Amino acid sequence: MALRPGTGSYAPSKAAVEAMVKILAKELKGTRITANCVAPGAIATNLLFEGISETELNIAVDQSPFGRLGEPEDVAPVVGFLASDAAEWVNGQIVRVTGGDV
């Protein structure tokens, strides 16, 4: 997560979710319920376009190894996997879906 000016409330809220997932994974012991979160990179959504300048948008595209913004369709399969029985051994993880932009 980039710690950019103007993200003073956004960045800590993301950090809180990541901490909560790690705690929940332990608190849910014995329930067969897993707790994970998906941390997407720059995804082409209305929320992104409303909160970013054209300059910042160009930087995000330039920093991506794929040379583009992510699409919701890039993130959805990861969420689907984590919601499936195939992910029963994945617990307490933050899965970064960023296209390689770290």
Q: Please name the residues in contact with 22: beta carbons below 8 A apart, sequence gap of 6 or more.
A: 35, 92
Q: Taking the CB of residue 59, how many other CB atoms lie within 10 A of it? A: 15
Residue positions annotated with a catalytic role: 10
